[in-house]
Amino acid sequence: MEPEAGEINVPVGRLPWNRERFGILPGGREARTLYSVVESVGEGDKALTLVKLKPETGRTHQIRVHLKYISHPIFADPFYGGRKTSRNDRKILERVFLHASSISFNHPKTGERLNIESPMPKELQEVLKMLKFKYGGEI
């Protein structure tokens, strides 16, 4: 993934020809995602990259659409990863390889800032290990 850190800032909207999916559309809603590469394995079209993402806006399917837009769809994504690729990925992992490691928001009644963290599930850690990532558990 080049560059190894950056910003994807393109508008996201519901596709008029397929109301179940979203895509990059002129006139779509502003959407901004920051990214940084954690680790890559493999080469060429077989390369896989573990990426830390931070959506600055909260559009439906924003991360999935943005990564597809830069030609790096999420592993096992049936909507945006491509039919053949997703089918092959799903032989290894039956779900989309996407995990929210943390979220922060203001409590609706107290206004107190809440920070919630969630470690990567064992299922995803095992897939990384099988694919030869050296990932150590912290992003």
Residue 100 lies in a domain: yes
Domains of the chain: total? 1
- Is a pLDDT exceeding 80 seen at residue 137? no
Position 105 in a domain: yes
> Does residue 137 form part of some domain?
no
Domain assignment of residue 15, yes or no = yes
**Domain residue limits at 75:** 5-130
* 136 found inside a domain: no
CB environment 13-33: b (16+ within 10 A), e (fewer): bbeeeeeeebbbeeebeebbb
What's the pLDDT score for residue 45?
82
Q: What is the pLDDT of residue 101?
A: 95
Per-residue model confidence (pLDDT) at position 131: 93
> Comparing 36-40, 98-102, 121-125, 131-135, which segment has the lowest mean pLDDT?
131-135
The pLDDT assigned to 44 comes to 87
CA–CA dist 22, 80 (Å, integer):
9
Smallest CA-to-CA distance from 28 within 10, 9, 8, 12 is with 12
Write down the pLDDT at residue 35. Answer: 98
Task: Give a yes or no: residue 135 inside a domain.
Answer: no
**CATH number (domain holding residue 122):** 3.30.2350.10
On whether residue 139 sits in a domain, the answer given is no
pLDDT digits (tens, 9 = 90+) for 56-99: 999 999 999 999 999 999 999 999 999 999 999 999 999 999 99
Q: What percent of the chain has pLDDT over 70?
A: 97
Q: What is the DSSP letter of 91?
A: T
Kindly state the average pLDDT of the residues 123-132. Answer: 95
What average pLDDT does the structure give for the chain? Answer: 94
The overall pTM is greater than 0.85 = yes
